[in-house]
Amino acid sequence: MDVISVIRTKRDRGELSPEQIDWVIDAYTRGVVADEQMSALAMAILLNGMNRTEIARWTAAMIASGERMNFDALSRPTADKHSTGGVGDKITLPLAPLVAACGAAVPQLSGRGLGHTGGTLDKLESIPGWRALLSNDEMMHVLDTTGAVICAAGDGLAPADKKLYALRDVTGTVEAIPLIASSIMSKKIAEGTGSLVLDVKVGTGAFMKNIEDARELARTMVGLGTDSGVKTVALLTDMSTPLGLTAGNALEVRESVEVLAGGGPADVVELTIALAKEMLDAAGIKDADPAKALADGSAMDHWRRMIAAQGGDPDATLPVAREQHVVTAPESGVLTRLDAYGVGVGAWRLGAGRARKEDPVQAGAGIELHAKPGDTVTAGQPLMTLHTDTPEKFDYALAALDGTFDIAAAGTSFTATPIVLDRIA
């Protein structure tokens, strides 16, 4: 077997054989295939695609590159959730303890932000003392005692994907649907969860800009999960507007705690409950009421235990940025558009995100929104507050926010886009 023949097969729009796929994934993981060679293959896959058989074998080969976890010893059924990433997407934080409060075990392996999309681990690390890195034994202990754990994937889980993802990020091949699907599903299947709900974002702030591409990605991932014995369902959800009223690490933790306390923005609550219902149904739990678990405080109790079990102080004061800048409405009327991508880039430039994986993030940086599409605003009213420890970044962030919102004449009718756009099962 040689890598040149594998590249040529896909370059010429051929189907990769199972033997070719197994060999190239293993050889790349071991360093036999060079980065520039795998880059050429990834670009050929982006341009020419893969069929379902190829994607399934590619996913299986990445799973086989590392260990597989098993939760059979738990007394509860397991359910996990994965989001393809967005702006203000803090849903994992209230969702994991909420589903745990309703009777499922939630082994949530999460990642860090890169570019305009936020990362769950970065958000939680704004809580003093909280640890993302747990051993497998520690992860099992937290899961068994609190019902939910949110942590980083260990080095032994799909190592081929870690290496390939870093390469795709710097070679313009992140958007390849076969590689997105296999990257996500190799980790989730290797994780060992019994059921999985996928939140596939659609819109300007998402990787999938249109609903047709999002449906293709969702169907591909649902097929991969189903073929591997994991009950899998996907919701297509809107990411044209930021979720909630915050984009940034500590800012989003604060908002998540508000949701767990029975308040919070309506869109965050709606999506959290919708995903919770899907997770519980997939896990075979039919009689639980997520809305009640938010209202009666049981979800908050599970949150506090989960955070404390990972070394965090649920009562600690969250970091606050040293500097703020207020953006006001230039005129009166109805806010009809607030672009998720622009807000995400603005928060990233303020220090909430990173351009490279090794870059630090500011816990208190980000953007706080004071109005959402459909709201009536008056000239001079605050629309957003920018937060950062480095005020020299304000101009850079404001440039990203230029043109991100529209205000129409007072009385203009407005119809909000539904949060859940479709369901793929």
Q: Which residues are catalytic?
A: 82, 161, 168, 183, 187
Strand partners, 246: 368
**The token pair that represents 314 in the structure block:** 């649920």
User: Rounded to 10 degrees, what is the CA torsion of 215, 216, 218, 220?
Assistant: 160
| CA nearest neighbour of 386 among 352, 354, 418 | 352
| CA nearest neighbour of 313 among 168, 183, 175, 130 | 130
User: 159-169 and 52-64 helices cross at what angle (nearest 10)?
Assistant: 120
Amino acid making up residue 381: Q
Q: Distance between CA 375 and CA 107 in Å, rounded? A: 38
